[in-house]
Every structure is written in C-alpha cells, then in structure tokens.
Structure 1
C-alpha cells in the first residue's frame, strides 16, 4: 500500500520547524497591536463586502485574508488606505483564481486575451470596457476600479509605473505557468526549479501587492523605483520567502490537482518529502534574512516601507507555519 498520503504535509516536521522558529524569538505581534488589527479588520470588512457585491466573482472567502494582510502589514495607516491596499490584495487572489480555473471556465486562448486586457487596464483604466457578467469580466471590472484609484493615489507619480510593471509580470507569469502546466499534463515534462521560482515569484502576487502599497502610501522618492535594484531585490525576497512557505503548505493539495510546485521538483530530484519541506523552510528563512539586509540599505525615504516588508515576512512565515494562506485548511489538528 502506498504511503504517499501519510507522507504529505509532515505534521511532525511542521511542528518541529514551528517550535524552532518560536525559539529564535523572531518578532511577534504584541497583544495590544493584535487587538487593534482585529478591530480594524472588523471595521473594514463591511466596506469590502459591499465592494465585492459589485464584482461577485471574487470569492467571499478571500475577504478576510486580504483584509488581515493589509492591516497587519500597515497597522498605522488610515481606513481609506487600508481599504485600497486590501482591494489590491483581493486582485492577487482573483487573478490567481481565474488563472487556476477555480472561478470561470476560460479556454487557454481566451485566457491569454483576457489577461492581456487586464494588463492594458492597469496601464490605462478606461482603455477597456468590462460590461460582461462572466467571471473574467467581473475580475476585469475589479482591476479597472482598483487601477482608477491607484492612478489617483498620492504616490501615483512616483510609484504607479512600478505597480503596473509588477501587475504585468504577475499576469505574464500566470500565462507562462499555464503553458508549463499544459506541457506537464501532455508530456509529463517538469520545469526546472530555477524556472519555476523565476516565474512563481511574480505569480504569488507579493511584488504587485507591495508595489500597490507604495502607490497608496506615497513616500517622497525622487528617483525611478524601477531603476533602483534594491527595490527589486526586496520585492523578490519578499515573494520567494512566501512562495517557499506556501509550497510547503499546498504540496498535498496541488499534487492531487496535478500541479507542480517547488517541493514536487525537489522530490523529483531525489529528496524525501520531509527533507524537501525542511529545505523549503530553510530557503524561506534565507530570503527573510536577505530581505532584512536589503531593507536596511534602501534609500532613506523607502526604509519605513522596507521595515514593513520585514515585519510582514515574519508574520507570513508564522502564518504559514499554522495554515495555508491561499486555501485555508479545515483540519481540526491544524486549527488547534
């Protein structure tokens, strides 16, 4: 009898890693700050629920994670700023859900056309019409609404191009992943780990999301952020530390769905699942260490944003130690 089902997720390994992480005394969230976060999330949810009614293709289950992420990452900003940052987070989920086929039923060629229109909408919000009632069009309407608000945000003149570029990379990455998935389904051909990571750091949405936060917050910065290598480095580290942890949590589900992730590729190269899980968490930690170093070397006006990235990195790693972010697990053992 196969032991594959019992090998997946390695609850003992996760518990061991979680305990090690706690013993390292990595920054946590003080109780009083956690209470403020919870109160602000509760305050924001009605507005986000009303926004979702305009674009009902967005899954209701995505509202609370997106809201929690925006508040935990930026606990001191205004309600309106939290609302727009949370909407950018919901775009990460919505575009990912369209790409994965969890909502809608786009054929591959149509997926390419729709995603190209999403990118054009981010560039020029009124260049596209999103009047359909299908899921792809509803998500396009949400992209248009967020893009219009970001174009009018305080940091648009300095950071809008950064957000647009990372939105483009996110959409382009999803199309590349679709081609890779089809090749795997047809031929059983696995991508290299390097290729997978190079694409999935953009499809995870973290660079787009944190670029949107810069547009919303609008710190003073005279240079072009697209030409500042430390900004790119920070966004890449932020993406990869989350990507590795997400892949730990989603291995079993994605394998059942016929998908590939970084642990699949490590196992294909000869690692056991437990060792692949340890390797993934180690690499996530290395990206967090790199992020902390890069954040401290950012140009002065961007250092508060860099500190936010580091704090969010710690928060997301601990969150992934507990449960999967994109697809909440129902196991009572995990919730406990």
Structure 2
C-alpha cells in the first residue's frame, strides 16, 4: 500500500475490542462526571510501524472463504506480521501492560480476533479517542457520530459505550452543556436513542421554532435528523421539530450563501433521503468520499497537538471499506455460480434479482463476520423472487399445486435426496433449488445454533406456499378479501420470511426455540412485513391490477364505493406505513427484549431495504434503477476528489 510520506511516521490509535451489536443500552450505576474515561492501550511492535508491504502481503494471503462466517476483523489486519497496518495516528508512550489489563475477547455476538500481548519494551498506542477536557460533550458525540457515519464504530464499541454512558448520565441530570446547546442536545438525543438508551422526546420540549437561531444551519440540521428517530405516533414534539426545521432548511437551500458548500450537500441529502430509506454501507462510502461535509461537526473545539484528527478516522474508514469490498465481490461471484448451478437462470419468466438482494444484504449487514447471513439472505431472496414470478405469471394451476404439495410433503423426499414427482421441468428446477438450499443452510444454521433448526426453515417455506395458494384461489374464485383478510395473508406472501428469518440464525447469538415461537419475534416480523408490503402496494398497484391481483390500495378504493381516488388511497397508506416503521424501531431499540439486539436489527435492516427500493417508485422491478448502487457498493473503488485530503492514499494494494 502506498502512503503519503508526510503521513508515514504516524500510527492510528486503534482499540482492541470489536462488537457486532451496539453497546448495552444503559448507563452504569451512579452518576459519573461528564467527562470521557481514559481509553485502553494497545501495543505496537518496535520498528514495525511503517511495514506497509508486509501488511499488504499478509492481507492478500488471509482472505476468508465465502459463507464460512469468516471474520476479517480490523484487528487481524492491524497485527498481521507484527505490523500496525493503518499508519495514520500518533504513537504515544512506552511501557508494557500487565496480562490482567488486557480486555477479554469473549463476545456473545460475534467472533472477534484477539490482539496478542505486547512484547517487552514495545510501544503502546492509545485508542483514537483523545482525552478531552471534562466539559466537551459536543466533541465526544461528534467523534461517535463520525465513527458511525463512516462505518467503523464496531471497532470502538468499548470507547463509544464509555462516552454514551457518561452522556446518558448527563442527559438524565439535564446538564446545561447538553440542554443549552441545541446542536449538542439534538445529536445526543439521536445517538443515545439509536444506541438503545431510554431517552424521552419530552426532553426536547424546550426546543421550539421561536427559540431557534434560523441562521444556524448546523443546529437546524441536527434537530431535523433527531426528529426522524421517532418511535411512536404520540411523539408530537418530534413531528413539530421535523416540520419547522425541514421548512427552514429548504429555505436556506435556496439562499446563495449556503449553496455549493459541503454543508449544503449534507442538508440536501438529509432532506432527500431520511436515514430509514438508506443502506448503511452506501452511506459510509458517500461519507468517506465527501468527508469534508462532516467538518462542521468538529469545529467547536480545536484539535490539540497529538490528538487523532477526523482525517485520521476517515482514512481508517476508507481502508476498512476497501478491504471489505473485496469480500463482497467474492461472495457475489459465489452466489452467481450458485444461481447457474441451480439452473435458476434457465427460467425465462424469472426476474434475475441476485444483485439487488446481495446489495441489500451487504448494504446493511456489512461487517465481514456476517458472511453467512449475507449469503443466506441473498440466496433466499433469489428463490422467493423466482417462486413469486412463477405464481404470478408462469405457472399453471396444476404446476402451482404440485410445487406447493412437494414443499408440504418435504420429509417424504429425504430418502431420494430431493427426487420427486414434478409436473414440469420448471417445477423440478424450483423444488430442487429450494430443497437443496434449505437443507444445506439448515445444516449450517443448526451447527451455529447448537440445535436442529432445519425444520423451522422448512415451515417458513411451507407457510409461504400455503399463503400463495390462498391468493391463487382468491383470484380464481373472484373473492374480494376484507382489508384484514388481505393483510393477514399479504404479510406472508410478501416473501420476507424465507429471506430474513433464516438469516437470524447467522447473526451471532443463539436463539432459543421459545424465542422463535414467542410474541416479540412474531410482532417484529409482522411490523416489518406490513411496512414492506404497504410500501410495495403503493408503488405496484397499477401492475398488479393488470395482473388481476388486488392490493391494499385498490382494496381501499374499492371499499370506498368509488368516493376515493387512487392518489387519495396512496396518501392514506402513508399513515399506517409510518406507524409500522415507528413501532418496529421501538421494538428494535428497546432494552428488555427476548430477541437479541443483533437479530432485531435484521428486521430493521429489511425495513430500510423496503424503503430503499420502494420510496417514490418501484425501483426493485427496474433492471437498472439501482444498478448504480450495486456498482458503488460492490465494484467501484472509493472515488476521492483531488481536493480531498485522503486522495493521496492508495488503498488498492491492501486488497
């Protein structure tokens, strides 16, 4: 890897601990002072801080196998061949930690590589979080925000938890450093809530349009973003803040002083793309490429000599993105081969949506250790789409009944390894692909969970085919379901069950059978599927009407007796969509939950994916509307503008 000589003498201060899930959502006991605890220290072997060629070679020889839950944590990269790979921070101090001071590598949510203990006489490097003065809440939160925006917060889970625990304590005390500064207050509310801390929107009651500085674009932007993390339709304060800050920001966009600046781009992006309509990894790439737009976050307190700069953090994010992008490329190649081996590409009626499903998997479940989850998500996404197309446009009634019967009598095919009496070649290809994939993934999931879960995966497919057959019968008989009948069946036929639910078994934690059959698990699924189905219905009602299918929009018009237009029905759907999204986010973020947080996050990931494809249009059905996003995430390297301070770095050799 090539690095600017001016930066070659510096080493990024990197923490040891990585976590798949955000830190625990509670403050520690007592009320600690509102300052940042001192970070842990890590070793750098003497004389090896700038061993870039050795590191690049080590990385190229240690690429993971696709679908084997291969974890290439950043710690692996950092300690390969005794070299600290990211040469971007400052070496601080010398000495040696005692063994008992080293943090534990045990983590229930992910496999995390353990850094080796320091050698005698080695340098020690402090984490990238600088030691701030006790009263500098804005700087601390800005650092956390930047780490989350560029996708490397998982490498700093312990440090982030320390900051947020202190911030939460100060929030509960109504500390004036938070309350009196609108930008800090809004940022604290948003970050604390999204990391699972119990913060009430009532604590923003002092924020009003009359009390705000209309010229302070940064504070308005933070307030607008805070208003989007609503978890209840009763949070009228957030609705109000979102309304007036949105109007003021739009007014500022039309004024010349703000235009053509990095802040202008960030405001425009926030207004155009609410956070729940975006894919995380695409946002990380955008923020790295345009990291000058984040500079405003760090301006309230100047850097002191020896502190890690925002540029250092973003450079680490750039290296992390480039390294993991090569993992995505190999996984997609593996999946493409599977499609061909399964003969799914030979079905002329089927939409080929592998790239879109893998985009949604890698765009949300982006850490490398979630390889199995991404592969399961994408495979089942392809299968459900092909089956859905078969039911909608290609299969005869006999073929559909045949496929449904084969899935229903799953166990009868075990002795013949999937051999069956298929009424057509299309049925044979479909059932063979479903049967082989479910059994293979079930065996992997069972090994990961320590119990047999294959039966659950089969039941998910059986329920889907039963519900699809119900729609066939409705269409054939001319039955017009009630809204309740329609949604009860449609949350299943939207096909998210086989995509999301098996992936939960690869998210890290073990999931007890009592959790899978419990009310919270089912409510998470219902809210996710309802939100996705309604988003889809709003955009696809015309196509489905031509196909002779009813959806929630056409049913609403029909039940109104002609008094409601299609456009009015579409607008009417927005209320239930918003309510489902808010309720889902509340379940995902709450602390007292039977379903582990990493698993709950997958329901939210799919909700965001549905918004990504169905906000404003039916982008999923378009072969190229999201093709640019696929290329950006998987194929195209980071595009750093010539004026960007990272543009002198070459990340290609690290792949």
Range into which the TM-score falls when normalised by the shorter chain: 0.7 to 0.9
**Cα distance, 1:257–1:289 mapped onto 2, change above 3 Å:** same
Alignment match, 1:174: 468
CA deviation profile, 1:205-241 (whole Å, cap 9, x unmatched): 1122211102333522334234311000001111111
Q: Is 1:96–2:388 an aligned residue pair? A: yes
**What CA distance in whole angstroms lies between the structure 2 residues aligned with 1:124 and 1:303?**
37
Unaligned runs of 5+ in 2: 1-267, 287-320, 630-655
| Distance apart, 1:320 and its partner CA | 0.7
| Distance apart, 1:160 and its partner CA | 3.9
Q: Is 1:261–2:551 an aligned residue pair? A: yes
Q: What is the root-mean-square deviation of aligned Cα atoms in Å? A: 3.2
Alignment match, 1:204: 494
Of stretches 116-125 and 145-154 in structure 1, the one that deviates more from structure 2 is 116-125
**Cα distance, 1:301–1:261 mapped onto 2, change above 3 Å:** closer
Q: Is the 8 A contact 1:122 1:144 kept in 2?
A: no
**What CA distance in whole angstroms lies between the structure 1 residues aligned with 2:503 and 2:593?**
17
Q: Is 1:43–2:336 an aligned residue pair? A: no
Alignment match, 1:147: 438
CA deviation profile, 1:77-115 (whole Å, cap 9, x unmatched): 44444223211111211221221134xx33x24422321
**Cα distance, 1:119–1:324 mapped onto 2, change above 3 Å:** farther
**Cα distance, 1:301–1:197 mapped onto 2, change above 3 Å:** closer
**Cα distance, 1:43–1:294 mapped onto 2, change above 3 Å:** same
Question: What is the number of residues matched between the two proteins?
Answer: 308
Q: Is 1:57–2:348 an aligned residue pair? A: no
**What CA distance in whole angstroms lies between the structure 1 residues aligned with 2:374 and 2:273?**
31
Question: Of residues 23, 42, 66 in structure 1, which corresponds to 2:357?
Answer: 66
**What CA distance in whole angstroms lies between the structure 2 residues aligned with 1:41 and 1:323?**
27
Q: Is 1:114–2:406 an aligned residue pair? A: no
Select the structure of larger CA radius of gyration: 2
Question: Of residues 602, 606, 609 in structure 2, which corresponds to 1:308?
Answer: 602
Residue aligned with 1:143, SS: helix
CA deviation profile, 1:161-194 (whole Å, cap 9, x unmatched): 443332221111000000011122xxxx421111
Residue aligned with 1:152, SS: helix
Alignment match, 2:577: 284
| Distance apart, 1:307 and its partner CA | 1.9
Residue aligned with 1:277, SS: helix
| Distance apart, 1:61 and its partner CA | 2.0
**Cα distance, 1:78–1:329 mapped onto 2, change above 3 Å:** closer
Normalising by structure 2, what TM-score?
0.43
**Cα distance, 1:93–1:62 mapped onto 2, change above 3 Å:** same
Q: Is the 8 A contact 2:505 2:511 kept in 1?
A: no
**Cα distance, 1:22–1:168 mapped onto 2, change above 3 Å:** farther
CA deviation profile, 1:115-165 (whole Å, cap 9, x unmatched): 121243389755641596711110111111211212211237264444333
Residue aligned with 1:61, SS: coil
Alignment match, 2:283: 31
CA deviation profile, 1:27-71 (whole Å, cap 9, x unmatched): 443633576787655433322221111233354622112212222
Q: Is the 8 A contact 1:155 1:215 kept in 2?
A: yes
Of stretches 166-175 and 148-157 in structure 1, the one that deviates more from structure 2 is 148-157
Residue aligned with 1:248, SS: helix
**What CA distance in whole angstroms lies between the structure 2 residues aligned with 1:110 and 1:282?**
39
User: What are the within-5 Å matches in structure 2 for residues 197-236 of structure 1?
Assistant: 197-217=487-507, 219-236=509-526
Alignment match, 2:568: 275
Normalising by structure 1, what TM-score?
0.79
Which has a greater percent of helix? 1
Residue aligned with 1:157, SS: coil
**What CA distance in whole angstroms lies between the structure 2 residues aligned with 1:302 and 1:123?**
35
Q: Is the 8 A contact 1:220 1:301 kept in 2?
A: no
Q: Is the 8 A contact 2:544 2:551 kept in 1?
A: yes
Of stretches 45-54 and 321-330 in structure 1, the one that deviates more from structure 2 is 321-330
Residue aligned with 2:338, SS: helix
**What CA distance in whole angstroms lies between the structure 2 residues aligned with 1:325 and 1:92?**
17
| Distance apart, 1:323 and its partner CA | 3.5
**What CA distance in whole angstroms lies between the structure 1 residues aligned with 2:469 and 2:501?**
21
Q: Is the 8 A contact 2:402 2:427 kept in 1?
A: no
CA deviation profile, 1:15-35 (whole Å, cap 9, x unmatched): xxxx9x947943443633576
